[in-house]
Amino acid sequence: MSCCHGSVPKGVRPGTARVLVTELSGSGHINPTPATKPCEDAEAVDVSFSPEKLKSLCGTQDLSHLTSLEICLDTQENTLGNFGAYLPKLVRLKMNNSTILSVRDLGTTLSHLEVLWMSRCSLQHLDGLSTLSSLKELYLAYNSVSDLSQAGMLENLQLLDLEGNDVDDLVQIQYLGLCGKLQTLTLEGNPVCVLPNPPAKQTADYSYRAAVRELIPQLRYLDDVRVEEDGLSCSSTMGEDWAILRNSIRDCNSPRAATDDEDTADSECPYSRPSSARRPPLQSLLRLAPLLS
């Protein structure tokens, strides 16, 4: 690269070297912080679950009287926030066939909730469950839950359905022994039904029902059978057939399938789960799935 000075006198800068500085009065900081762009997704969620939107969907101007709600959503795309603050009398919430990885996604304002359905929701963690302090019945069938420590904090829990999950250690069952009012428990289809813990080898001496009864002495029903009738039960053994069935049910996410399971639960066993496990009357439910579709 060459540089030609031409006839420019020595000591005089060329015109292109001149620098003009303009000072703007009232400009504030020399390096002001740029304004951030509002999050469009957050704005959309806020609108979706605002009190006004809920009132419109419910057809009422008074959300304080709403006691039952049914919704289906994907919390990876939408968030409920603290919508429970708008529904102070909500006691039954059904979210079957949703995509909810953690109970924490439900927020912290559902302390008045008594019955919660979250079957087939791809649920992996129960973090945040302790905030549902009034919970009496919890239905979590066909998810991927393995840690039950949060459930042990529910003092009012009476029924827990964990059918077809990933509980694989009796240590987790010990947490449920802290639920003094727990009377009905479903664990069928969990690895712990076959082995007491992952390192153990399968043996004919292992009785999962006897182990659960010892850890939860207040229990009255286990897998829809009275604990007093364990001598007539042969549900202590399972194999690969049950695992295949469990995976097939997990893949079945149709609302129709979930409805059929709930409507026939009582007819299949004389000691089946309470009637609250069934779908509440349609007139008491609000179907909000179209909102999030």
Q: Is pLDDT of 202 > 90? A: no
Helix/strand/coil for 192? helix
Q: Which residues contact 24 (CB under 8 A, 6 or more apart)?
A: none
The most confident of 11-15, 101-105, 116-120, 208-212, by mean pLDDT: 116-120
Q: Please give the pLDDT value at position 158.
A: 98
Return the structure tokens found at 73.
Answer: 């959503």
Q: Which residues contact 262 (CB under 8 A, 6 or more apart)?
A: 277, 278, 279
Confidence of residue 39 (pLDDT cuts 50, 70, 90): very low
Number of CB atoms found within 10 A of residue 187's CB: 24
Give which of 241, 245, 281, 277 is closest to 261, Cα–Cα: 277
Q: What are the structural domains of the chain?
A: 95-272 (3.80.10.10)
Q: What is the pLDDT of residues 210-268, one digit of tens each?
A: 999 999 999 999 999 999 877 544 444 444 555 555 556 556 544 444 445 544 444 44
Question: How much of the chain, in percent, has pLDDT values that exceed 90?
Answer: 42
Distance between CA 94 and CA 195 in Å, rounded? 32
* 92-94 vs 184-186, strand pairing mode: unpaired
Q: Are 82 and 109 in contact (CB under 8 A)?
A: yes
Q: Please give the pLDDT value at position 191.
A: 94
The most confident of 114-118, 192-196, 232-236, 275-279, by mean pLDDT: 114-118
Confidence of residue 270 (pLDDT cuts 50, 70, 90): very low
Q: Which residues contact 72 (CB under 8 A, 6 or more apart)?
A: 95, 96, 97, 98, 255, 288, 289, 292
Q: Are 279 and 94 in contact (CB under 8 A)?
A: yes
Q: Please give the pLDDT value at position 247.
A: 59
Distance between CA 186 and CA 188 in Å, rounded? 6
Give which of 84, 50, 52, 53 is closest to 69, Cα–Cα: 84
Q: Please give the pLDDT value at position 42.
A: 35
Distance of CA 8 to CAs 3, 4, 15, 17, 20, Å? 12, 10, 10, 12, 21
Helix/strand/coil for 212? helix
- The vertex-292 CA angle with 286 and 293, nearest 5°, equals 110
Q: Please spell the DSSP secondary structure of 228-243, one letter per residue.
A: GGGGG--TT---HHHH
Of residues 270 and 125, the one with the higher pLDDT is: 125
Helix/strand/coil for 41? helix
Q: What is the pLDDT of residues 59-69, one digit of tens each?
A: 778 888 889 98
Q: What is the pLDDT of residues 77-109, one digit of tens each?
A: 877 778 888 889 999 999 999 999 999 999 889
Of residues 184 and 235, the one with the higher pLDDT is: 184
Confidence of residue 31 (pLDDT cuts 50, 70, 90): low
Per-residue exposure over 57-76, b if at least 16 CB sit within 10 Å of its own CB, e if not: bbeeeebeebebbbbbbebe
Scanning the structure block, which residue is given the tokens 């695992």?
Answer: 243
Confidence of residue 203 (pLDDT cuts 50, 70, 90): confident
Mean per-residue pLDDT over the chain, rounded: 75
Least confident range of 63-72, 133-142, 176-185:
63-72
